[in-house]
């Protein structure tokens, strides 16, 4: 496991993209808190995150490369179109998945709803270049405090990730969940 800075990511951009494509499990910063992620099409990596978080079936959210990805792969209505104009931002939009092949079924077991994010963060440039969705869920075991700095990262998770992209302590709260199926703001994640 290695800890990488923004500068190192920029220098090693192609390598990091390739590692994510190939199934790396990693911790990444967002515009809110730190997340743990992987390629949302790689079942082996998704299973590993499920084990690390002790979260066997609860759906994961994804960080998508663009609003166009959402339009192509999710059901769109007027509310979704309105909220797409708010992205990038600290929101997780709950939408119906239209293209089931756009992510692994392990991402959202037994349901057809997906949480999509486009954080307002420099790391989004790498996700756009990757042009794949990644799992993005808080970097903690289910029910425990979410990671805001290296000091409060669960040691079991730290041992098992391939790399950590670290910038500084995060002082924000998790993203706001906006359920566009029920069309109401419901909670924070």
Does this model's pTM top 0.85? yes
Average pLDDT score over residue span 103-114? 93
pLDDT tens figures, 16-56: 999 999 999 999 999 999 999 999 999 999 999 999 999 88
Report the C-alpha gap between 112 and 136 in whole angstroms: 17
Report the C-alpha gap between 158 and 144 in whole angstroms: 15
Nearest partner of 139 among 29, 50, 28, 35, judged by Cα: 35
CATH of 2-188, one of 3.30.450.40, 3.40.50.1980, 3.30.1480.10, 3.90.870.10: 3.90.870.10
């Amino acid at each position: 496991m290695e800890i990488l800075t923004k500068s190192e990511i920029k220098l090693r951009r192609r390598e990091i993209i390739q590692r994510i494509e190939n199934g790396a499990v990693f911790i990444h910063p967002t515009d809110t808190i730190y997340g743990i992620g992987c390629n949302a099409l790689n079942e082996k990596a998704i299973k590993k995150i499920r084990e690390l978080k002790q979260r066997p079936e609860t759906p994961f959210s994804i960080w998508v490369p663009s609003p166009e990805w959402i339009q192509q792969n999710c059901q769109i209505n007027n509310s979704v179109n309105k909220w797409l104009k708010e992205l990038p931002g600290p929101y997780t939009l709950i939408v119906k998945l239209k293209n089931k092949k756009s992510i692994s079924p392990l991402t959202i077991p037994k349901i057809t709803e997906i949480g999509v994010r486009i954080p307002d963060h420099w790391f989004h440039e790498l996700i756009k270049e990757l042009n794949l969705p990644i799992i993005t869920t808080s970097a903690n075991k289910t029910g425990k405090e979410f990671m805001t700095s290296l000091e409060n990262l669960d040691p079991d998770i730290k041992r098992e990730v391939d790399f950590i992209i670290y910038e500084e302590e995060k002082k924000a709260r998790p993203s706001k969940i906006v359920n566009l199926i029920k069309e109401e703001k419901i909670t924070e994640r």
